Amino acid sequence: MLNFNVPAIVGNEEDYIKESFSSGHLSGDGKFTRLCANWFERTFDVKKTLITTSCTHALEMAAILLDIQQGDEIIMPSYTFVSTANAFVLRGAKIVFVDIRPDTMNINENLIEDAITDKTKAIVPVHYAGVACDMDKILDLANRYNLAVVEDAAQGILSEYKGRKLGTLGHLGCLSFHETKNVHCGEGGALLINDETFMERAEIIREKGTNRSKFFRGQVDKYTWVDVGSSYLPSELNTAFLMAQLEASELITSNRLVSWNLYFNLLQPLSELNLIDLPVIPLDRTHNAHMFYIKVRDLEIRTELLNFLRKHEIMAVFHYVPLHSSEAGIKRSLFSGKDVYTTRESERLIRLPLYFNMKESDINKVVDCIYKFFSTV
């Protein structure tokens, strides 16, 4: 079976983990956690980075930082992973979904204004497949209505919007290092803090509501409980692994882009025949080849193609049952305006296998199989 995902291993992970356990410091915020945070602050030109246990936890921290209360409304696309919504629902918020654009599968920036009410507190753009949302429009709206912007950049490491890294454009940005993401450590994440007013409190929330970080810097002589919080810091074993991956992150990205471009070029003829749609990358953004997807005519063809690929030992998948139609979403959310594209486009999308160091012959195998399928229907 050709796997859908193979977690990247770049080489130095084992050495760094050995170094971390021989250092005698295995809990959070040791040498490797600091190196990882510094890497982001340098490479991303971000004011402060907190490495977390997951992107889900980075999103939860964002919701706490924004003081989200019962009844507050948060605007986001319905076509996303559950954590984007759950982080805010945990604080009592109501989720207001806005339709996506069919070209990028991202939130339609032109429909956001209609969803804003007196209760709206934040907009959460999700950069699907590592391709940026239209951030100029979103940031302008947020500015005019005094709303916070939390980027769900879980899939977007090293992608850019007009020359700026995803996760650095909103007030807060959340990244994921889950093993299905380009750069990973099994489970992990980061909170990028671009608005200085959140810096001190973010450290406290991540350290169980204590001012322990200040204590370690010698700024207070004992540490105590000062605010709400939880334990959002990963162990050094995880960040040692992560550091090796961050050092190789450009290599991982360029390797994935070669595979992505190969898929794109080989499948172009099917798109010209209108049998499939290929991903669209707007000219003002670069992407990190997090995902290669195609869209077929409808749900029926998708089911047939997925079965056909599986029969030929290829694991392809679809994802995201739109959150507004999920069991939990029905109770806790509403859809602003009409669902023109969210359900329709999500039902026809297929993700093809794509991972670091994927063999060219395997890409050819997947493509051949797709051609074979369309020659029979």
Ligand X SMILES: *Cc1c(COP(=O)(O)O)cnc(C)c1O
Rule CB under 6 A: say whether 189 interacts with ligand X.
Answer: yes
Closer residue to ligand X, CB minimum distance, 191 or 275:
191
Cα 172 to Cα 194: distance, rounded to the nearest angstrom: 6
Residues in 210-249 at the binding interface with ligand X, rule: CB under 6 A: none
User: Minimum distance from CB of 243 to ligand X (Å)?
Assistant: 17
**Sheet with 333-335: strands ordered across:** 48-52, 189-193, 172-176, 148-152, 120-123, 73-77, 94-98, 333-335
Rule CB under 6 A: say whether 55 interacts with ligand X.
Answer: yes
> Pattern of binders to ligand X over 134-173, x per CB under 6 A?
------------------x-xx------------------
CB-based contacts of 322, cutoff 8 Å, min separation 6:
78, 79, 97, 329, 339, 342, 343, 346
Position among 20, 33, 49, 54 found at the interface with ligand X (CB under 6 A): 54
Size of the site for ligand X (CB under 6 A): 14
Nearest to 366 by CA among 324, 330, 331, 315: 315
Rule CB under 6 A: say whether 336 interacts with ligand X.
Answer: no
Please say whether the beta carbons of 47 and 196 come within 8 A: yes
Rule CB under 6 A: say whether 56 interacts with ligand X.
Answer: yes
Cα 295 to Cα 303: distance, rounded to the nearest angstrom: 12
Q: Are strands 160-161 and 164-165 parallel, antiparallel or unpaired?
A: antiparallel
Position among 78, 84, 194, 259 found at the interface with ligand X (CB under 6 A): 84
User: Minimum distance from CB of 122 to ligand X (Å)?
Assistant: 15
Stretch that binds ligand X, among 11-19, 39-47, 80-88, 107-115 (CB under 6 A): 80-88
Angle of helix 360-376 versus helix 299-311 axis, rounded to 10: 130
Q: Residue 108 has which token pair?
A: 């339609």
Stretch that binds ligand X, among 62-70, 75-83, 220-228, 266-274 (CB under 6 A): 75-83
Residues that bind ligand X (CB under 6 A): 54-56, 80-81, 83-84, 126, 152, 154-155, 176, 178, 189
